[in-house]
Chains A and B, each alone.
Chain A
């Protein structure tokens, strides 16, 4: 089985290096095919591992060689496929393989075709390292690796120039890429501190050693570790206040948004919380904070999605909101439910994004949904696929989202956090509304695109084919709930519900009700032409549309003062104070030399005079300090 683990891990890397060989060359279809094929190899290996683990409960471990050995620190390149990581592996490779196939079509006219596949496969490799590592340092390798690939892929169209925020809210791909990288770095520092803390108190970064020792540690210490690790998770999973990069990351090609910024990378934070459950289950207070933040983000992000007009940004906010749901589950101790929602979300959100990619392709990269409409006539299959994804996102039975999201609401209610439950319930309604607002504006209603001279067309058959498995999974994944629970709770703790029967049914009913009414409201409103123009002048609309002005606040509070301070540090402090002091001292020496050079006039009698003065001084000194007097 070790063999399959290595194949699953390294085939994306091989694909990436292969594609990199052609990096700067013109498009070769081969690179796309080879990388996709290798991804399928990886997927099959992961599935074999899944079957193996499910049938035998045997955890597969591989240790390649030691990475860092210093003092008592020993970090190996160790990988593990257990019930949790294998689920992640299957999720990641499934979505990645399909996105790779899809990208062959999506990127077909792009100059950077080979480069794109190289980056994309490198991302999958990093993600696999992240989920398969058996220690925190390995996780951090993957963590930074996905960050790097995300930077490369967000900035993939690096040649675009910077715009103002009015024209492009993300300014430019390269700007968005840097923003994502730096913001993630802030969180990574927190995570690093967490690793240091773990190391100095446990002496190892191996999961099993650390988790075995957690019980022995002081509770304050565990709390601190939990906070530090969660800061790391907040960056990667774009939780408030480190969330702004995710929406801007939509500057990347759409398959990237589907794979990295919806299905896999952004869920790494959730994965970390799930993985480190022995730590978080010790500290329910921090768990409650995580859950509260999650619930806040769920509503906060959903509210921004309500009014946005940018196709991809709406989906990005919805990703943010769904990540909030996952954190609620993770924070409240329902780790397997968080993981389950992570998985189902990966399927339907990737599907949604790929559908959005089809629409963008059809509309020559136009993103404003108010310039679309009625597209279902020309893009029937895409419309169907996106509606499936939206239904799953809205949490309608029998789609996957229903099972996982409802469970999270149940957990919130069950653990008597009624406020959290209410927020999530509200979020569910908003989710349903904005999802179908998008569907209505893009696929139904008046064909506004004709005004702007677009000629939309359906995507390639193989792109649609690549989406089909995701659609199937988005429909059926929910029915695996019980076997999923059974499988992962071999490692993760089970969650015991206290409420049963009628209350549960009522909860499901209430949630479904708000989701359905959200959908109904969206359909009703937008089949009648939507809201009036006056609404756009409303301060609430403006607040939401400008993302609560947070990007602007960040710019005014952090970016610009930092720039100014840097300038001051350089021009005023470094040149005028520090360096000037040094030069001043040098000048004093130099000038005193100049002043003193009159002594060396070359005139004998003047020099003799100096000599006599010196002599007299010496005589005086001798007399004063003479030991015998």
Chain B
């Protein structure tokens, strides 16, 4: 029997993977992938809890997140391409102009 706990554990594992990715990766593209994983981890949690409570709000939220993730990728990738054209790299450490 697959219970809510299993879904939440899966979501947590996925989120942790994403977190590690966000922290360790230096390539902006990889960073994007990692954030997508994190978002999807949250989506899984949302859907599972929605089902568990019988409340559709959670699934609704998951759709919102999918939509936002899509638009984010669209804008983000666009910016990324421009950045690559300007600097010739999409390495994170090259993006340090705003330091204190």
What is A's interface to B at a CB cutoff of 8 Å? 597, 599-605, 608-609, 612
Q: Which residues of B are found within 8 Å of A604, using beta-carbon distances?
A: 31, 92, 95
Q: Which residues of B are found within 8 Å of A602, using beta-carbon distances?
A: 95-100
Q: Which residues of A are found within 8 Å of B100, using beta-carbon distances?
A: 597, 599-602
- What are some 20 contacts across the A-B interface (CB < 8 A)? A597-B99, A597-B100, A599-B100, A600-B98, A600-B99, A601-B96, A602-B96, A602-B97, A602-B98, A602-B100, A603-B96, A604-B92, A605-B24, A605-B25, A605-B92, A608-B22, A608-B23, A609-B23, A612-B22, A612-B23
Not counting A603-B93, A605-B24, A609-B23, a sample of 11 additional A-B residue pairs whose C-beta atoms are within 8 angstroms of each other reads A597-B100, A599-B100, A601-B96, A603-B95, A603-B96, A604-B31, A604-B92, A604-B95, A605-B22, A608-B22, A612-B19
Instruction: Give the CA-CA distance A14 to B25 in the complex, in Å.
Output: 96
Cβ distance B60 to chain A, nearest Cβ, rounded Å: 25
B26 on the A face (CB < 8 A):
yes
Instruction: Give the CA-CA distance A557 to B33 in the complex, in Å.
Output: 85
Cβ distance A93 to chain B, nearest Cβ, rounded Å: 82
Cβ distance A303 to chain B, nearest Cβ, rounded Å: 80
Closest 7 CB pairs of A and B: A600-B100, A602-B99, A597-B100, A602-B96, A602-B98, A601-B99, A604-B92
Q: What does the 1/0 interface line of B36-73 toward A look like (CB < 8 Å)?
A: 00000000000000000000000000000000000000
Q: Which residues of B are found within 8 Å of A600, using beta-carbon distances?
A: 98-100
Instruction: Give the CA-CA distance A139 to B49 in the complex, in Å.
Output: 94
Of all chain A residues, the one with the shortest Cβ separation from B100 is: A600
Cβ distance B37 to chain A, nearest Cβ, rounded Å: 14
Instruction: Give the CA-CA distance A600 to B23 in the complex, in Å.
Output: 16
Instruction: Give the CA-CA distance A603 to B23 in the complex, in Å.
Output: 11
Instruction: Give the CA-CA distance A165 to B25 in the complex, in Å.
Output: 87
Cβ distance A42 to chain B, nearest Cβ, rounded Å: 80
B25, B26, B95, B100, most chain A CB atoms within 10 A: B100
Of all chain B residues, the one with the shortest Cβ separation from A596 is: B100
Instruction: Give the CA-CA distance A597 to B100 in the complex, in Å.
Output: 5
Cβ distance B11 to chain A, nearest Cβ, rounded Å: 15
Main secondary structure of the interface of A (DSSP, over half): helix
Of all chain B residues, the one with the shortest Cβ separation from A599 is: B100
Of all chain A residues, the one with the shortest Cβ separation from B20 is: A612
Of all chain A residues, the one with the shortest Cβ separation from B25 is: A605
Instruction: Give the CA-CA distance A605 to B28 in the complex, in Å.
Output: 10
Cβ distance A31 to chain B, nearest Cβ, rounded Å: 75
Instruction: Give the CA-CA distance A231 to B33 in the complex, in Å.
Output: 92
Instruction: Give the CA-CA distance A602 to B99 in the complex, in Å.
Output: 4
Of all chain B residues, the one with the shortest Cβ separation from A602 is: B99
* Complex contact A603–B92 (CB within 8 A): yes
Of all chain B residues, the one with the shortest Cβ separation from A598 is: B100
Q: What does the 1/0 interface line of B5-36 toward A look like (CB < 8 Å)?
A: 00000000000000100111110000100000
Instruction: Give the CA-CA distance A110 to B100 in the complex, in Å.
Output: 74
Instruction: Give the CA-CA distance A51 to B100 in the complex, in Å.
Output: 93
Cβ distance B8 to chain A, nearest Cβ, rounded Å: 15
Instruction: Give the CA-CA distance A627 to B90 in the complex, in Å.
Output: 46
Instruction: Give the CA-CA distance A294 to B26 in the complex, in Å.
Output: 98
Instruction: Give the CA-CA distance A603 to B92 in the complex, in Å.
Output: 7
Instruction: Give the CA-CA distance A600 to B24 in the complex, in Å.
Output: 18
Q: Which residues of B are found within 8 Å of A608, using beta-carbon distances?
A: 22-23
Instruction: Give the CA-CA distance A605 to B94 in the complex, in Å.
Output: 11
Cβ distance A35 to chain B, nearest Cβ, rounded Å: 76
Cβ distance A603 to chain B, nearest Cβ, rounded Å: 5
Cβ distance A205 to chain B, nearest Cβ, rounded Å: 67
Q: Which residues of B are found within 8 Å of A601, using beta-carbon distances?
A: 96, 99-100
Instruction: Give the CA-CA distance A599 to B19 in the complex, in Å.
Output: 19
A599, A601, A603, most chain B CB atoms within 10 A: A603
Q: What does the 1/0 interface line of B68-100 toward A look like (CB < 8 Å)?
A: 000000000000000000000000110111111
Cβ distance A610 to chain B, nearest Cβ, rounded Å: 10
Cβ distance A462 to chain B, nearest Cβ, rounded Å: 88
Instruction: Give the CA-CA distance A609 to B31 in the complex, in Å.
Output: 13
Instruction: Give the CA-CA distance A599 to B95 in the complex, in Å.
Output: 15
Cβ distance A217 to chain B, nearest Cβ, rounded Å: 73
Cβ distance B3 to chain A, nearest Cβ, rounded Å: 21
Instruction: Give the CA-CA distance A612 to B19 in the complex, in Å.
Output: 8
Q: Which residues of A are found within 8 Å of B97, using beta-carbon distances?
A: 602
Of all chain B residues, the one with the shortest Cβ separation from A615 is: B19
Instruction: Give the CA-CA distance A601 to B98 in the complex, in Å.
Output: 7
Cβ distance A168 to chain B, nearest Cβ, rounded Å: 68
Cβ distance A623 to chain B, nearest Cβ, rounded Å: 15
Of all chain A residues, the one with the shortest Cβ separation from B97 is: A602
Q: Which residues of B are found within 8 Å of A612, using beta-carbon distances?
A: 19, 22-23
Instruction: Give the CA-CA distance A608 to B93 in the complex, in Å.
Output: 13
Instruction: Give the CA-CA distance A605 to B92 in the complex, in Å.
Output: 7
Instruction: Give the CA-CA distance A604 to B35 in the complex, in Å.
Output: 13
Instruction: Give the CA-CA distance A115 to B24 in the complex, in Å.
Output: 90
Instruction: Give the CA-CA distance A597 to B93 in the complex, in Å.
Output: 17
Cβ distance A592 to chain B, nearest Cβ, rounded Å: 13
